[in-house]
Amino acid sequence: MCLGIPALVIGLEGEEALVDVAGARRKVSTALVEGIEEGDYVIVHAGFIIQKIDADRAAETIRMIRELGRRP
């Protein structure tokens, strides 16, 4: 039920977004998240976008992981 995979918003029409999830295209609702734009990466659950993915925060986490690997 709970997909951990990010989806890319490739189209918008009214309260619907067309998303690409690992190559599969699907129409989902934008009713639960404001300000969705084309090009956003989002989390989809049960046919609804439930959150946008924050690129800066993702980069921070990756940086943290890499630093852990490098510490003497």
Partner 1 sequence: MRYIDEFRDSAQVKGILDEIESLGLREGINLMEICGTHTHSISRYGIRGVIPRGIGLLSGPGCPVCVTTEEEIDAIIGFARENRDVVIATFGDMLKVPASVGSLEGVRAEGSDVRVVYSPLDALEVAIGEPEKEVIFCAVGFETTAPTVGATVLKAMELGVDNFSVISLHRLTPPAMRSLMEEGEVRIDGFICPGHVTAITGSEAYRFLAGEYNTPCVVAGFEPLDALLAIYMLLKQIKDGRAEIEVEYSRVVTPKGNTRAKRIMERLFRVVDTRWRGFGLIAASGLKLKEEFSLYDAERRFYIRRMEAVDKDQGCRCADVIRGIITPEECSLFSTLCRPESPLGPCMVSTEGTCSAYYRYERR
Chain residues in the site for partner 1 (CB under 8 A): 1-6, 8, 22, 28-29, 31-34, 41, 43, 45-48, 50-51, 53-55, 57-58, 60-62, 64-66, 68-71
Minimal distance in Å, beta carbon 38 to partner 1?
A: 15
Task: Please provide the DSSP assignment of 3-40 as one string.
Answer: ---EEEEEEEETTEEEEEETTEEEEEE-TTSS---TT-
Residue 25: name the closest of 42, 10, 5 by CA: 10
Tokens of 16: 């619907």
Minimal distance in Å, beta carbon 39 to partner 1?
A: 11
Minimal distance in Å, beta carbon 18 to partner 1?
A: 15
